Amino acid sequence: MTSTAARQVARGGGGPPQPPFARNKPVDYQLDENHELIWDDGVAPETTIDFDAPHMSMSEAFAWWGGGLTFFAGMLGLVTLSDPESKREAVPRAATLPATAFDPRDLFKAEEGEAAGEEEEEEEEEEEEEDE
């Protein structure tokens, strides 16, 4: 029973896979100034700005682009009209946060508040002295 498959398994499967493309030799010359616009991974250089559809006119491309934007704007409108807030099954975040949540602006108001608090304390002390 010496089939071809059995012989290949016995020999390790027939060798390593071949590379998909012929490799380019390393660059040994001075590059031109627009070389960064070419993606060269050592396999098959290609321009980074692809012109995949040279058969499509600019007006047709803008029509497709505008159609895509219109589609997403329409989807946004449909979602807005369906009132997703009324279908919410979870509690809104504002209902679960404490009434005195941390606000970074309070850090700056504290300095002003301390000054105002000191004035109130002075007024209270003056009132106590007058009462005595």
Quickly list H helices, 31-97. Answer: 58-81, 93-96
What pLDDT does 56 receive? 85
Pairwise CA distance, residues 5 & 14, whole Å = 10
- Rounded to two decimals, the pTM is 0.37
Reading the chain (132 residues) residue by residue, the pLDDT tens digits are 567 666 666 666 666 666 666 666 777 888 778 777 777 777 777 777 666 777 888 899 999 999 999 999 999 999 999 998 888 888 877 777 777 767 777 777 755 555 444 555 666 677 777 666
CA torsion sign for 102, 103, 108, 113 is negative
In the chain, what are the domain boundaries? Answer: 35-131
